[in-house]
Amino acid sequence: MSEEDSPAAATPSPRPRFRPLPLGAGPTTRLVHGARRPDWNAGAVVPPIYRSVTFRYPAAFSEGAVRGGTYLYSRLENPSVEGPAEVIRQLEGGEAAQLFASGMGAITASVLSLVGAGEEVVAVGGLYGGTTDLFGELPRLGIRVRTVPEGDRRAPDDLVTKDTRLVMFETPSNPQLRVHDIGRWSSAAHRVGALVLVDNTFATPINQTPLALGADLVVHSATKYLGGHSDLLAGAVVGSERLLRRVDPKRCLGAPLDPFVAFLLERSLKTLALRVARHNENGVRVTAAIADHPAVERVHYPGRASAEEEAIAARQMRGRGGVLGVSLRGGAAAVAVFLRSLTLIEVASSLGGVASLASVPGVTSHRHANPEELRALGIDPGFVRLALGIEDADDLVRDLREALDAAERVGAAPPL
């Protein structure tokens, strides 16, 4: 009797479930143990990497059998991808989660799946440049995009209409670190039947859980803090099972997460809470240490923009994160000297890794914006974004203050 004819092959193996954790288990415990599957993977403590693209059909094949528990094709689902998805789902408090090959893959799949021709997206200012680029393409598909400037003082109820189907924003925003009221935007959107999609990349679920505040979906560039080591590309979307069934259900957009990257992501998630605690500490320390430097015009950090935003941040955030913006008085010339003078902090784009990075949004994340658009976004020529890592705070402060001293001398030099 061949293997295919054996009784074992005739019955599809049920997909193993994740082991439930004790009621009230904390976030760090969930990060370490949230994706454990009992009596599977030959008892391995670290799950293996399933590189297989395709999987055997059960001998007694039926569509119901495949849908009921067997794997089919790795573009659709893969055992290695399910582990980190489950951990992120638990941390965000959603019913379901999907992983993608990048944050933009997750954002694109979500927006295109939820909004159609003749409908409207409200884009609240301070979005990642890639998201803004995507929204610039949506009118070709008949989708209207209405942008709300970041400093708009109108109430959310006055900014959504009966035609609005999706409201999207980041909080804290990119790169000014402005804080948007998730609960207030969610209430306004739900009154007109719209959905709210929050990019939670900067905050992470350690510092903020938008679903608990009323949002419908949460999206992450898992490349950043969730991955945490600047060595992987991934994206995630979390929400209700009903909505996640609508987000690219057949994976026809073709942006699945690679199993090896999923393995790296699950490894990295185990230390997320520890890393974010250090990022938070460094953010607070560095902001206080450089805010009064003569070369600094302004420091941008969650809650600093106004008393109102401080109240929102205190209410909806558990920590303020490790990203801050610095506007230098000397403009672009001071920025050039400042960046050249850094010895510990790397000059590179991105954020969320263990190593600190400095970048200029005007030539990185928002490089496609023209000068007028940059001014409207609040990105002045002296703007530098600092993504602080987990180094010792004293070393970061020393490096930054020495670079600011050099930038100040440029601003103080008499014109030629």
- Residues belonging to the active site: 75, 128, 199, 224
- Report the C-alpha gap between 153 and 240 in whole angstroms: 31
E-strand stretches of 273-341: 296-300, 323-328
- Report the C-alpha gap between 31 and 412 in whole angstroms: 50
- Report the C-alpha gap between 87 and 97 in whole angstroms: 9
Tokens of 202: 């900067």
Q: Is the peptide bond before 172 cis (omega within 30 degrees of 0)?
A: yes
Helix axes 129-137, 103-114, angle to 10 degrees: 30
Question: How remote is the C-alpha of 4 from its chain's centroid?
Answer: 44
- Report the C-alpha gap between 333 and 231 in whole angstroms: 32
Q: Which ranges of 36-144 does DSSP label H, i.e. alpha helix?
A: 63-69, 79-92, 103-114, 129-137
- DSSP designation for 235: E
User: What are the Cα distances from residue 61, in Å, to 57, 70, 287, 408?
Assistant: 6, 11, 61, 72
Q: What is 14-29 written as a DSSP string?
A: PPPPPPPPPTT--HHH
Q: Is the peptide bond before 175 cis (omega within 30 degrees of 0)?
A: yes
Encoded amino acid at 337, one letter = V
